[in-house]
């Protein structure tokens, strides 16, 4: 049903086994994206708090001068 107004015909036959495989791959891709996001945030925080090289501030948009 689309917004409770009409029903679209199926575009593919129902296949539970294939659906399970697609769901598994979909969840793996989602976990990989979440892992990359966490690694990127961690690297940005590492540059800001450990290396103190101003990379995070440049990414935020403010150009800072090094002391």
In angstroms, the CA 7 to CA 53 distance is 57
**8, 2 in Cβ contact below 8 A?**
yes
pTM equals 0.67
Q: Give the CA angle between residues 20, 23, 28 to the nearest 5°.
A: 130
pLDDT-based confidence at residue 38 (cuts at 50, 70, 90): very high
Rg (CA), the chain: 23
The chain-wide mean pLDDT, for the chain, equals 88
Q: Is pLDDT above 70 for 16?
A: yes
**Residue 23 reports pLDDT greater than 90:** yes
Q: Is pLDDT at 63 greater than 60 in this prediction?
A: no
**What's the distance, CA 46 to chain centroid?**
20
């Amino acid at each position: 049903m689309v917004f409770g107004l009409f029903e679209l015909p199926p575009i593919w036959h129902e296949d539970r086994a294939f659906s399970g495989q697609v769901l598994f791959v979909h969840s793996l891709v989602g976990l990989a994206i979440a892992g990359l996001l966490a690694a990127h945030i961690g690297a940005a925080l590492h540059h800001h708090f450990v290396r103190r090289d101003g990379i995070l501030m440049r990414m935020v948009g403010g150009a800072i001068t090094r002391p």
